[in-house]
Amino acid sequence: MEISASISTLLLLLSWMCFLLLFLFLFSNLLTKKRDKVENVASKPKLPPGSMGWPYVGETLQLYSQDPNIFFASKQKRYGEIFKTHILGCPCVMLASPEGARFVLVTHAHLFKPTYPKSKEKLIGPSALFFHQGHYHTLIRKLVQNSLSPDTIRRLIPDIETEVVSSLESWVSAGHVVNAFQEMKKFSFNVGILSVFGNLEGNYRDQLKENYSIVEKGYNSFPTMIRGTSYSKALLARKRIREIISEIISKRKEQRLMEKDLLGHMLNYRDEKGKTLTDEQIADNVIGVLFAAQDTTASVLTWILKYLHDDQKLLEAIKAEQMAVYEATEQGKMPLTWGQTRNMPFTHRVILESLRMASIISFTFREAVVDVEYKGYLIPKGWKVMPLFRNIHHNPEFHPAPHNFDPSRFEMAPKPNTFMPFGNGVHSCPGNELAKLNMLILIHHLVTKFRWEVVENQNGVQYSPFPVPLHGLPTRFWRND
């Protein structure tokens, strides 16, 4: 009996010990899993700080109901150089440092694709340069760069001069106040036509201008297909532009013209198998170049007009440099030469400072094609990424006293990635040399032969969508004589 009791007690103790060992094993395993889970969570990058705003709407209303400078600067002050938000229906990560811009646009550009709303892509054309990356993008970019290289655009100087003088004379002849921004847009469009088509027949030029104006009005409108709306009209006008370009292409092919303008470069292209670009690809890229060439150049020229008007010392300094060139051309009797446009150092610095101050392109849109880690933060696949050029251009760490107009800051080259008026990397603007040439030639004729007065001079800014002086800078022009 006693032996049986002892055996029972021993078995009971063994059972309890087995149970205890099993419990300790399971508890230890649970702790290990929990620790691993915590370590995994800790090691996984987090989203950047920031606010996503209201559901669906995000912070779009805040961005568009106030000065974008205030919106972006306040975000950077609160959260640092990298922060998240939600605008235009998209979750976004914004980068306000030179390193961030270089990461997205240069060193890791393959992780971020260009992105535009489909409604805008339809108006320009899906084959346009800036909607692509990879082989096709490299091919079209090379053709555009070749057509806008210094060796090519130097031939345009006499034609650009003609456009400049014609525009200035028309503003004088108007005899009343003109909207400087709208007039600069007309001038920029005409030079864009020159760079794409060369000396185009007046009839074609007028048709392109008329229809492009309709496309432009619909570009930033609500994208509805309802008949009679700005967007639906823009799509019809875009179709007409496509037909006009096709007609011009047909004439070129019939006459076997070998022009060195952009259209010529695209028509003459053959790949290693003899394949050419389609008319659709050519039309999309022609429209894209016209679009890129107009508003940005016009905006900067309008700001230059204001900066020179508001600072008489600046105007006198730039006039002194340009009068020396004017005398060298026998008081304007001889055309400007390429060498003379390359020897306007102060005027060139004024243009660079205007580009920095105005920062026409405040930011650019990219989209992460995979999950990306940057400085310990996660940029999820599909999120928009926006390098903030304006914040970098107005950062006192890189540009002391950033709100002062000071061309002397460009006597030395700025630090890398702190000045990007034409973007950076493989998607930077290939037409930047043509844009600067336009500005140099217009400034030369403006200050040597004309004078102007800004009416209702105010310091306000309007966004349409690029920043321009309030009301488009109402201005009156006179000849010097």
Going by the annotation, the residues of the binding site for heme are 429
Strands across the sheet containing 82-87? 82-87, 90-95, 384-387, 366-368, 112-114
Residues in the annotated binding site? 429
Q: In angstroms, what is the C-alpha Rg of the chain?
A: 30
- Which token pair is 43? 């090691």
Short-list 356, 351, 350, 363, CA closest to 393: 356
Q: How many CA atoms lie within 13 A of 325 on its CB side?
A: 26
- Distance between CA atoms of residues 85 and 63, nearest Å: 10
Place of tokens 């967007």: 231
Q: How many CA atoms lie within 13 A of 392 on its CB side?
A: 28
Short-list 442, 218, 187, 388, CA closest to 295: 187
Question: Using alpha carbons only, what angle is made at residue 353 by residues 349 and 354, rounded to the nearest 5 degrees?
Answer: 115
Cis peptide before 117 (omega within 30 of 0): no
